[in-house]
Amino acid sequence: MGDQGTALIVGAGIGLGAALVRCFAGAGMAVAAARRNTDALATLMDEVGARAYACDATDEADVSRLFESVTADLGAPDVVVFNAGAFVRKGILETEAAELERCWRIGCLAGFHVGRAAAAVMVPRGSGSILFTGATASLRGGANFHNLAVPKFGLRALAQSMARELGPRGVHVAHVIIDGQIMSERHAALAAERPDDALLDPDAIAENYLHLHRQHRSAWIQELDLRPWVEKF
């Protein structure tokens, strides 16, 4: 267990997920990074001293095993971030039911599994943070974006309901709306052309998650809306 407790990042991809791992590790926390395939995490784990766990968050039993393993290895999580998601951009007439269901399972049902498992650990001790990653699609469904909007709408509703139920029991539940594109390797050329912070810096986003976890309970944020200064809204 780290000096500042244990953080579990579910959906530890190479972008925001990796930034979250670095951020919480840099804050002195023991960090567990979970995703379906952990091969891509080896370098990051060595870099920050975190531990990788393979987990299919759409599988209830797999999530239960994840929490058991993390608790045994690093201590019960003090903060859990759900950062998983899936998206297939298609028109409604071209979308198959299985595609929508898959996106919902990864982006919403998995959030329920992770959120409930986190609550089971945190409610008995009366403390902890459960943080969910949202998007522009959490607030409005754009044309050809139903595969993202449907699960994101549901995840936002889950976060709101959990916050109202668990807040009075000492558990901070927050939903982070990321309204804009996150900087990644595929955006490097654009960033070079426009060095004006037009894209969200994943490290800057991650700092906000850490701030949410550290907030005093007399002034908890339930929903945080993040966007670059040039983004229209």
User: How many angstroms separate the CA atoms of 163 and 130, rounded?
Assistant: 9
For residue 86, give the amino acid letter. A
The secondary structure of 19-70, three-state, reads: HHHHHHHHCCCEEEEEECCCHHHHHHHHHHCCEEEECCCCCHHHHHHHHHHH
Q: Given a cut of 70, is residue 92 above it in pLDDT?
A: yes
Tens of pLDDT, residue by residue over 199-229, are: 899 999 999 999 999 999 999 999 999 999 9
Question: pTM (2 decimals)?
Answer: 0.94
Could you tell me the two tokens for 127? 């403390």
Q: CA-based angle 114:104:123, to the nearest 5?
A: 20
pLDDT above 70 as % of the chain: 94
Burial bucket for residue 72 (CB in 10 Å: 0-12, 13-18, 19+): exposed
Residue at 75 is within a domain: yes
Neighbours of 207 (CB within 10 A): 16
Residue at 40 is within a domain: yes
* CATH number for position 132: 3.40.50.720
Residue at 233 is within a domain: no
Comparing 73-82, 83-92, 167-176, the range with the smallest average pLDDT is 83-92
Residue at 231 is within a domain: no
Greater confidence (120 vs 232) lies with 120
Residue at 215 is within a domain: yes
Residue at 1 is within a domain: no
Give the count of alpha carbons within 13 A of 55, CB side only: 34
Tens of pLDDT, residue by residue over 105-125, are: 999 999 999 999 999 999 999
Number of separate domains in the chain:
1
Q: Which residues form the domain of 208?
A: 6-226
Residue at 25 is within a domain: yes
Residue at 117 is within a domain: yes
Averaged pLDDT score across all residues of the chain: 93
